[in-house]
A and B are shown apart, each in its own frame.
Chain A
Amino acid sequence: QKEVEQNSGPLSVPEGAIASLNCTYSDRGSQSFFWYRQYSGKSPELIMSIYSNGDKEDGRFTAQLNKASQYVSLLIRDSQPSDSATYLCAVISGGSYIPTFGRGTSLIVHP
């Protein structure tokens, strides 16, 4: 069974700090990786996708992928209170088009 694991948190960081969110997955054949942000009572919003090993940066967000270790992480620089949300990791295995979602990590950025 394909699994995507995330620490449920909450992860609490001060405003301006770097928030580091981690995700591990069980299927070594996974090809596509995504981070979504979900505010309370709202639907998920795609933040980033990453497909190859290494870092991918978009503004204050950096996704990091290490296929050998089967983990993907999301760094949020200069965290803001508006970043407080649940962050969902999603993984698609090779040969599939259906993502498997983690349970999400709750992030709290306090002033």
Chain B
Amino acid sequence: GAVVSQHPSWVICKSGTSVKIECRSLDFQATTMFWYRQFPKKSLMLMATSNEGSKATYEQGVEKDKFLINHASLTLSTLTVTSAHPEDSSFYICSAEDPGTSGSDEQFFGPGTRLTVL
């Protein structure tokens, strides 16, 4: 399957700082990437859909000014958590579709970024 990477894999920051998470498709071009958040023992929650060259589409209840998404190229999408607070501590996961695979709507997930805000 297609490979999606994320960086960093984990990050600890102080309250009030901003954190940038990168999501890269390594062996394919992804027009669309998705950002999810998962709290411990909870289900995946879609935060936003990231579209290359255009504004992201945010799910209801997700603050677009707090979670800035930039999809500047076909292989890179970034999520910036601005002015992070302890309640933003979570597991952030991106995914992307590889249009070149036989199942063109199969999503492949990155390994995730664990964010801890002190």
Which residues on the A side are within 8 Å of B67 (C-beta)? Answer: none
Chain A residues whose C-beta falls within 8 Å of the C-beta of B80 in the assembled complex: none
Beta-carbon contacts of B54-71 to A below 8 Å, as 1s and 0s? Answer: 000000000000000000
| Size of A's binding interface in residues, CB under 8 A | 21
Give bound CA distance, A80 to B76, whole Å. 37
Q: How many residues of B contact A (CB 8 A)?
A: 19
Q: How far is the CB of A68 from chain B (nearest CB, A)?
A: 22
Would you give the shortest CB distance from B35 to chain A, in whole angstroms? 12
A45 CA to B49 CA, complexed, in Å: 19
Does A88 belong to the interface (CB within 8 Å)? yes
Chain B positions within 8 Å of A32 at CB level: 103, 105
Q: Are B110 and A43 in contact (CB under 8 A)?
A: yes
Q: Which residues of the other chain, A, contact B107 by a CB distance below 8 angstroms?
A: 34, 46, 90, 99
A77 nearest CB across to chain B (Å): 22
